Amino acid sequence: KAIFKDDISQETFQKIKEEIASYG
């Protein structure tokens, strides 16, 4: 597993947004 990504796609960013929103 890559421990950090140098870049993220728009699609991935949307998933991250949803992931973060789940903590709210």
Partner 1 sequence: DIAKAIIDLAVYGKSQNRSYDRLGLLVDTVGPRLSGSKNLENAIQIMYQNLQQNGLENVHLEPVKIPHWERGEESAMMLVPRVHKMAILGLGSSIGTPPEGIMAEALVVTSFDELRRKAPEARGKIVVYNQPYISYPVTVQYRVRGAVEAAKVGAVASLIRSVASFSIYSPHTGFQEYQDGVPKIPTACITVEDAEMIARMASRGNRIVIHLKMDAKNYPDTSSFNTVAEITGSKYPEQVVLVSGHLDSWDVGQGAMDDGGGAFISWEALSLIKDLGLRPKRTVRLVLWTAEEQGGIGASQYFQLHKVNSSNYSLVMESDSGTFLPTGIQFSGSEKARAIMKEVMSLLKPLNITQVFSGTEGTDINFWIQAGVPGASLCDDLSTYFAFHHSHGDTMTVMDPKKMNIAAAVWAVVSYVVADMEEMLPRT
Minimum CB–partner distance for residue 12 and partner 1 (Å)? 8
Q: Which residue has the tokens 């728009």?
A: 10
Q: Does 14 interact with partner 1 (rule: CB under 8 A)? A: no
Rounded distance between C-alpha atoms, residue 14 and residue 17, angstroms? 5
The token pair at 19 is: 């992931």
Do residues 16 and 8 lie in contact, with contact meaning Cβ atoms separated by under 8 Å?
Answer: yes
With CB under 8 A, what is the number of residues at the site for partner 1? 14
Q: Does 11 interact with partner 1 (rule: CB under 8 A)? A: no
- Enumerate binding residues for partner 1 (CB under 8 A): 3-8, 13, 16-17, 19-21, 23-24
